[in-house]
Amino acid sequence: MKIQEADAKSLLVAQGLPVPGWEVAHNVEEARLAAERFFAAGAQQVVIKAQVLVGGRGKAGGVKLASSPDAAERVASTILGMDIKGITVRKILVAAAADIVKELYMSAVLDRADGRILLMGSAEGGVEIEQVAAANPDAIVRVHADPLLGLLDFQARQVVFAMGLGAHLKAGVAIAKGLVATMRAYDADLVEINPLAIVRELDAAGAPVKRLVCLDAKVTLDDSALPRHPELEALRDPDEEDPADRKAREAGLTFIKLDGTIGCMVNGAGLAMTTMDLVKRAGGEPANFLDIGGGARADRVAAAMRIILADPKVDAILVNIFGGITRGDEVARGLIEARAVQERDVPMIVRIVGTNAEEAAALLEEAHFTTAASLDEAAEKAVKASGGAAA
Ligand code: GDP
Ligand code: MN
């Protein structure tokens, strides 16, 4: 689950990381009031940032500075309602603009191959890290956190020195350890600070000081771990969740949309992967990955069917069920129910084996479904029904 920058920053603050204060505004009036408060507190400029779940907002015109409340109001009105990569901006972050001396990069990601948290740092921040990785891989320093002890002090220092942050050693170490702590506290997949910035500020006596702060924050939470953090569910942004993803989540289905034309309804993640492979081998392209889970009842099957058919590209459906806990006849009933009310008729090829397969076969035959005995046959029939093998 992706969360908005403002929410990501709240999680960082809760873990003790240095993040300059901000407010979230939903309309021009709120933005003006927020800006007035920052100017009253001594800000020379405010920064206004689109809150959308895509990267590269700066380049897209979604991050702008303003030097007065009037200017803030104007900037807010251009950013609110703006389309950034297909998403309409509905809220903005307002903050005192930082006086940036240097932009750097630091992130923690779950390294699945290694089974550990990977901390990455680079002196080249503010740009896309993928570009740095491609053009100058040596500019990125990497260390793996200890699974039990977290990021050790010497590892944090190693990263901070490699980033050229010797002058900010203490703050840099705290941030590095804080990113790993944030990963662990919320079961995050990614905690990325880009830019991590050296900024010029004035201390209490009015003397200039340089400080290391998190200016941007991107956090992705592990969906499978969300039940461990029910309070984070409130950070889900319904404005930006794909309708099909939301329906699938509400129905308890694991659904991932793909680009092909053959809808797949399968029970079990491994069988779903196999089914997709066989569709491809038969010359077709799967339209989705869909695992209806174990013990799927008729209503869940019907929900899955609606989600598959909502994709206009789908022109054939392959149902592949291995009945274990899941009863074949329940699935067959679900399919019959779903087809009776579905808005669009597409060919459906059904293979059900295992528990109550015979009852299922009888029900499907009576309802004139196309069935297949083997998975290979099912995949071939589905590809043929969808207009034959792709070139
Ligand atoms: P992103 O483009 O979606 O990653 O959004 P960021 O929050 O990273 O902002 C993009 C760029 O805007 C940063 O790399 C900075 O150069 C600039 N920027 C962001 N916040 C500030 C700020 O407070 N002051 C100044 N001067 N520039 C900022
Ligand atoms: Mn950024």
The most distant pair of C-alpha atoms in the chain lies apart, rounded to whole Å, by 86
Tell me: pLDDT of 220 over 60.
Answer: yes
State residue 239's pLDDT score. 87
Question: Are residues 69 and 35 in contact, defined by beta-carbon separation less than 8 angstroms?
Answer: yes
**Is residue 15 included in any domain, yes or no?**
no
Å from CA of 105 to ligand 2 middle: 9
Q: Which atom of ligand 1 is nearest to the CA of 95?
A: 23
Burial 13-47 (b: 16+ CB within 10 A, else e): eebebbbbebbbbeebebbbebbbbbbeeebebbb
**Is residue 335 included in any domain, yes or no?**
yes
End-to-end CA separation in angstroms for the chain: 36
Tell me: pLDDT of 296 over 90.
Answer: no
Which CATH number characterizes residue 352's domain?
A: 3.40.50.261
Q: Please list the helix, strand and coil fractions of the chain in percent, rounded to the nearest 5, in that order.
A: 40, 30, 30
**Is residue 10 included in any domain, yes or no?**
no
Cβ 8 under 6 angstroms from ligand 1? no
Last residue of a domain, one of 77, 97, 117: 97
Residue 192 is a catalytic residue = yes
Q: Which atom of ligand 1 is nearest to the CA of 5?
A: 7
Q: Where are the beta strands (DSSP E) in 78-129?
A: 83-84, 87-88, 92-96, 99-111, 116-122
Q: Strands 99-111, 188-202: parallel, antiparallel or unpaired by DSSP? A: antiparallel
State residue 381's pLDDT score. 96
Ligand nearest to the CA of 56: 1
Kindly indicate the confidence band of residue 378, based on its pLDDT and cuts at 50, 70 and 90.
Answer: very high
Å from CA of 390 to ligand 1 middle: 44
Question: Which of 30-34, 98-102, 326-330, 379-383 shows the lowest mean pLDDT across its residues?
Answer: 326-330
State residue 389's pLDDT score. 65
Considering the domain architecture, whether residues 256 and 372 belong to the same structural domain is answered as yes
Considering the domain architecture, whether residues 262 and 132 belong to the same structural domain is answered as no
What's the DSSP call for residue 36? H
Considering the domain architecture, whether residues 175 and 188 belong to the same structural domain is answered as yes
Cβ 324 under 6 angstroms from ligand 1? no
Tell me: pLDDT of 289 over 90.
Answer: yes
Tell me: pLDDT of 390 over 60.
Answer: no
Kindly indicate the confidence band of residue 343, based on its pLDDT and cuts at 50, 70 and 90.
Answer: confident
Considering the domain architecture, whether residues 252 and 224 belong to the same structural domain is answered as no
Last residue of a domain, one of 80, 97, 114: 97
**Is residue 373 included in any domain, yes or no?**
yes
Ligand 1, residues 75, 122, 129, 215: which to mutate, most atoms within 8 A of Cβ? 215
Considering the domain architecture, whether residues 247 and 368 belong to the same structural domain is answered as yes
Owning domain of residue 264: 242-385
**Is residue 377 included in any domain, yes or no?**
yes
Alpha-carbon distance values, 246 to 1, 46, 320, 383 (Å): 12, 35, 23, 28
Cβ 127 under 6 angstroms from ligand 1? no
Contacts of 328 (CB under 8 A, 6+ apart): 321, 352, 353, 354, 355, 356, 357, 359, 360, 361
Å from CA of 29 to ligand 2 middle: 26
Q: Which of 338, 272, 268, 328 is nearest to 303 (CA)?
A: 338
0.85 exceeded by pTM: no
How far, in Å, CA of 306 to CA of 227, rounded?
A: 26
Ligand 1, residues 54, 63, 106: which to mutate, most atoms within 8 A of Cβ? 63
Considering the domain architecture, whether residues 224 and 178 belong to the same structural domain is answered as yes
Cβ 61 under 6 angstroms from ligand 1? no
Considering the domain architecture, whether residues 91 and 176 belong to the same structural domain is answered as no
Which CATH number characterizes residue 49's domain?
A: 3.30.1490.20
The protein residue with its alpha carbon nearest to ligand 1, atom 18, reads 63
Residue with the bigger pLDDT between 247 and 48: it is 48
354: amino acid identity, one letter? G
What is the layout of strands, in order, in the sheet containing 46-50?
Answer: 22-25, 92-96, 46-50, 63-66
Considering the domain architecture, whether residues 272 and 308 belong to the same structural domain is answered as yes
**Is residue 175 included in any domain, yes or no?**
yes
Question: Are residues 19 and 217 in contact, defined by beta-carbon separation less than 8 angstroms?
Answer: yes
Considering the domain architecture, whether residues 132 and 88 belong to the same structural domain is answered as no
Considering the domain architecture, whether residues 285 and 219 belong to the same structural domain is answered as no
**Is residue 390 included in any domain, yes or no?**
no
How much of the chain, in percent, has pLDDT values that exceed 90? 86
Q: Strands 370-371, 316-323: parallel, antiparallel or unpaired by DSSP? A: unpaired
Q: Which atom of ligand 1 is nearest to the CA of 126?
A: 14
Phi then psi for residue 353, to 5 deg, are -125, 170
Last residue of a domain, one of 212, 241, 270: 241
State residue 290's pLDDT score. 95
Which CATH number characterizes residue 231's domain?
A: 3.30.470.20
The arithmetic mean of pLDDT across residues 217-231, rounded, is: 96
Cβ 216 under 6 angstroms from ligand 1? yes
Cβ 57 under 6 angstroms from ligand 1? yes
How far, in Å, CA of 216 to CA of 126, rounded?
A: 9
State residue 391's pLDDT score. 45
**Is residue 7 included in any domain, yes or no?**
no
Tell me: pLDDT of 55 over 80.
Answer: yes
Q: Which of 332, 336, 337, 329 is nearest to 355 (CA)?
A: 329
Cβ 177 under 6 angstroms from ligand 1? no
Considering the domain architecture, whether residues 266 and 322 belong to the same structural domain is answered as yes
User: How many separate domains does the chain show?
Assistant: 3
Considering the domain architecture, whether residues 153 and 257 belong to the same structural domain is answered as no
Question: Are residues 263 and 309 in contact, defined by beta-carbon separation less than 8 angstroms?
Answer: yes
